[in-house]
Amino acid sequence: MLKVGCIGPLLSGKTTLFKALTFGHSQTAKTQAGHLEIHRGVVKVPDQKLFQLAQLYNPKKISQVEIEYFDLVGTLESEKKQEGEKTAILRECDELVAVCGLFQNFSGLEQIQAFARKEMEKVLADLIVLDYILVDKRLDRIRKQSKGIPVAQSKQEADLLHKCLEGLDKQIPCRRISFTPEEEKLLRGYALLTAKPILIIVNIDEKEISCSSEIEKKLEGFAKEQGFMALAVCAEMELELSELEEQERVDFMKDLGLSVPAAHRVAEASYQLMNLITFYTANQNEVKAWAIPKSSKALQAAGTVHSDMEKGFIKAEVINIDRLFQLGSMHAAKEKGEVGLHGKEYVVQEGDVIFFRFNP
């Protein structure tokens, strides 16, 4: 399950957006410590091919990729002095959605662009402060533990943290700092907020829906510069759409000139930002979609399904889902020699249907 945290200034409409993204199927709860109120909702990533694949197997269960959204009440301002529960939850997320409310009377797209950029820079500054606090504390701990004579591992970690600290001190987020593969692997353990993919959502007024594409184009430069993506969404309208029956929603979206709900657009953008692809497993019990990073190998994909598959991996039988649909069945695909037999180094491709052979 992918985890996404919603952040943004007060009155940006992030809770309204959260409710729209989760189609109102969210829960309000306290953290284990009982101090922080959070809204949590799980949604399924739309995938028409998955259901088409299920028609070939008639399984007992169909499982889509799921995204778990978190909306933390309030802002991150109170966390700057000492990391708290909000930051801890965000560090567990795979991606952040930063919401900016555009409800003023702007005279044109240039003003919208300037305001949105300024608001997002404030959010990014907060994330930089939170990461700076974490990195600085970790460095201080290493100094005390090593007593001035760090072991090789501590020195490696200290050098990496110094590198992060130098960038953060110059207001450079960690995603824009160059790291070696070894450093990146070590860095993942810190779950730095400025290293996470960020999707910017500009929450527009209903009257701006018709020019949402132009707004996105205006923000494209800033988003690319930061390594983000930007979408323009009317959260209030999307929330109204989410509360309608399916056919009513389709008709209403046509009237508004919308092809899909914001939830679908956000899921698609999240896939791109997190650099993910989908592969499938299928049998009579369950047909399931899985999200993994691009360039993942067959062994990693097997481990995503089950640790036993990774440990006892033998081979992977692979066919692209579109080719499987053309041939009509796995039996026909095997008869025509269209099913590839690959080892653990095989690089999984978007839309692969994989049958893992393994020793239990």
At residue 332, the pLDDT reads: 96
Contact 291, 297 (CB under 8 A): no
Distance CA 190, CA 179 (A): 14
Q: Which residues contact 283 (CB under 8 A, 6 or more apart)?
A: 57, 59
**For 145-160, what is the mean pLDDT?**
71
DSSP sequence for 241-278: HHTS-HHHHHHHHHHHT-SS-HHHHHHHHHHHHTTEEE
Residues in a beta bridge with 63 = 288
**For 43-67, what is the mean pLDDT?**
95
**For 223-229, what is the mean pLDDT?**
87
Q: Is the pLDDT of residue 25 over 80?
A: no
Distance CA 90, CA 96 (A): 8
Dihedral sign of CA atoms 45, 40, 231, 349 in order: negative
Distance CA 67, CA 129 (A): 27
At residue 29, the pLDDT reads: 56
Look over the chain and give the mean of its residue pLDDT values, rounded to a whole number.
89
**For 255-264, what is the mean pLDDT?**
88
Length of the chain in residues, anyone? 360
Residue 131 backbone dihedrals phi, psi, to 5 degrees: -70, -35
Distance CA 128, CA 168 (A): 6
At residue 226, the pLDDT reads: 84
- At residue 103 the predicted structure's pLDDT band, cuts being 50, 70 and 90, is confident
Residue 314 backbone dihedrals phi, psi, to 5 degrees: -115, -65
Q: Is the pLDDT of residue 185 over 80?
A: yes
Contact 242, 263 (CB under 8 A): yes
Residue 11 backbone dihedrals phi, psi, to 5 degrees: 65, 20
Instruction: Identify the top-confidence range among 174-183, 199-208, 257-266, 271-280.
Output: 271-280
Range name among 185-189, 291-295, 330-334 with the lowest pLDDT average: 185-189
Contact 165, 158 (CB under 8 A): no
Q: To 10 degrees, the CA torsion angle through 223, 270, 199, 107? A: 80
Residue 8 backbone dihedrals phi, psi, to 5 degrees: 160, 165
- At residue 143 the predicted structure's pLDDT band, cuts being 50, 70 and 90, is confident
At residue 105, the pLDDT reads: 74
Q: Where are the beta strands (DSSP E) in 64-175?
A: 66-72, 95-102
Map out the domains of the chain with their CATH numbers: 2-107+196-273 (3.40.50.300), 125-194 (1.10.150.300), 295-358 (3.10.20.30)
CA separation (Å) from 97 to 7, 55, 124, 200? Answer: 6, 35, 12, 6
First to last CA, the chain: 24
**For 147-162, what is the mean pLDDT?**
75
Q: Is the pLDDT of residue 209 over 70?
A: yes
Q: Is this prediction's pTM over 0.85?
A: yes
Contact 26, 41 (CB under 8 A): yes
**For 170-188, what is the mean pLDDT?**
91
At residue 106, the pLDDT reads: 76
Distance CA 253, CA 255 (A): 5
The SS3 call for residue 211 is helix
* Longest CA pairwise span in the chain (Å): 69
